[in-house]
Amino acid sequence: MTNTDHMVNGFDMATLGSLEPELRSLVSRRAALLGPAYKLFYEHPVQFVRASGVHLYDAEGREYLDAYNNVPSVGHCHPHVVEAVSKQIATLNTHTRYAYEPLLDYAERLLSTFPAAISNVMFTCSGSEAVDLAVRVARFYTRGTGVIVTNNAYHGTTTAAAELSPSLGSGVALGRDVWAIDLPLAKLAVGSDVGHELASSVRSAIADMERHGVTFAAFIADSLLSSDGIFPHPKGFLGPIAKAVRDAGGLYIADEVQPGFARTGEAMWGFERHGVEPDLAVLGKPMGNGMPIAAIVARPELLEEFGAVSRYFNTFGGNSVSIAAANAVLDVINDEGLLENSRLVGEKLRTTVEEIAAEREDIVAVRGVGLYVAADVVSPRDGEPDADLASRIVNQLRERRVLISAVGRAGNTLKIRPPLTFSRDHVAQFGEALDDVVSAIR
C-alpha cells in the first residue's frame, strides 16, 4: 500500500539530494530521529532561530515575512504574552484539581464572547483533543455515533479526530460512522449561496446513515471550511445546515480552531458570521499564541450527564501558564484592536491579491475575510486546478522570504493567513513579492 495523496506543500524526501549540505544533513538527521510521518514545509525547507511580530529569522539573520502562521496570532513573541508566561512559570504552574481563581476569571472572560446559552468551557491542550472531546460529548448526549464532515475536512490527529479528517488522505481511514459530504467547490469559490444545497446534502447523509442503522450524533465543520479550500462567503450559508442538523436531533459543532479569536475581522467567532448558534464549539491554535491550550465550549445541558458519570481531567489542560498566555492573548486582541485590524488590513490584503489576479488568467476566485485570503490557481487553457503552479508560487515566495502555503482538495488554493498584527506596509511588501513571483512565472 502506498499513498497517492501528497501533503500540499510538503517537502519530498526524494529530493533530499538537491539541498545544500548543511540543510541536507539536518533533514536526514530529522528523518532518522522522528520517522517518516513528520513532513517539512517547502521544496527548500526553512530553518528559523528567532521571530518577532510578523517576522521570522534564519541562522544567517535573514528576515522572512510571515503571511502564513495563525498560531502566533498576536505576533511572534509578543512582549505581553512573553511577560505573562515568564511571570507565571516562575510563580506557579499547576493543574485544575486545585481551586485557582485566574482559571475562572479567564473562563468567564472567554465565555462572555459567546452567545449566552453557551456557558460552559472545558480545557484541553490541543485542538485535536478538543475535537475529540466535543465529539465524545455529542455521542454521549445523543446516544448516536454518526458524524457528518465536509469531504476535505481536517479536524485533528487523535484516533477519533483523524477518523473525521478526509484531508489526511486515503492512508487514514474515515470512521465507519463518519459520512463526508461533497461541497459545490466552484460555487463556493465565487460566493454563491449554497446553503440549501448543503443542507440537502446533510439531510441525505443523515438518511443514509440511519438506513445503515447508525444514529446521527453531530455535524462538525470549520466555520471557514479552511482545509476544503477556504470559503467565507456568502455570510449565512451554514445556517440551513444547522437547521437540518437540529431537525434530525443532532448537534452542530463549530470547529473554530482556525476562524476563532478574531481571525475573520468581522466577529470573534466564525459561526457568528453565519447566524449559527452551535451546540458546541472547538477552540485551539491561536488561543495561547503558541502555548498549548485549546477548549470546548458548550451549552451546559450537554455536559450535565456526561460530567456526572465521567469525570474529565487533562493534566496540562488549563494549566496556570497556558491560562496566563491565553488571558494575555485576549488582552492583546482588545488593546491592539486586532479584530478591526484584521478586517481593515485583511480587506487591503484581499484587494491587493485581486489586483494582481485581475492581470492574469491563472489566479482566480480571490476570496477572503479578515486576514485569511485565498485564491485558486488554474490552468489558463481549461480553467482546471493547477496544483503544480500553486506550488511554484508558494515555493518561489519562500525563496523571496515570504511565507504562505496552499490548501484544498486539489491543492491549488493559495492560503494567505498572516498574524493578526499584519499592517498595510506588510501587505504592500507581500503584494510586491507576489507580483514579482507571478510576473516571473508568466
Min CB(396)–its own copies separation in Å: 18
| Helices 320-335, 101-111: crossing angle, 10 deg rounding | 40
Give 299 or 367: the residue with its C-beta nearer to its own copies.
Answer: 299
Structural element, H or E, at residue 363: strand 363-368
Structural element, H or E, at residue 217: strand 216-222
Q: What is the DSSP string of 170-222?
A: TTSPPPTTEEEE---HHHHHTT---HHHHHHHHHHHHHHHHHTTPPEEEEEEE
Give 103 or 248: the residue with its C-beta nearer to its own copies.
Answer: 103
Give 104 or 190: the residue with its C-beta nearer to its own copies.
Answer: 104
91 Cβ contact partners less than 8 Å away, ≥ 6 residues apart:
320
Give 158 or 429: the residue with its C-beta nearer to its own copies.
Answer: 158
Give 26 or 344: the residue with its C-beta nearer to its own copies.
Answer: 26
Give 78 or 350: the residue with its C-beta nearer to its own copies.
Answer: 78
Min CB(278)–its own copies separation in Å: 16
Min CB(252)–its own copies separation in Å: 19
Min CB(71)–its own copies separation in Å: 6
Strand order in the sheet with 55-58: 55-58, 63-66, 402-403
Give 316 or 392: the residue with its C-beta nearer to its own copies.
Answer: 316
Min CB(363)–its own copies separation in Å: 25
Cα distances (Å, whole numbers) of residue 278 to 207, 222, 271, 281, 416: 22, 12, 7, 6, 27
Min CB(331)–its own copies separation in Å: 16
Min CB(41)–its own copies separation in Å: 5
179 Cβ contact partners less than 8 Å away, ≥ 6 residues apart:
146, 147, 148, 149, 205, 208, 209
Task: Give the separation between CA 430 and CA 422, rounded to whole angstroms.
Answer: 10
Query: Which one-letter DSSP state was computed for residue 214?
Result: P
Task: Give the separation between CA 333 and CA 301, rounded to whole angstroms.
Answer: 30
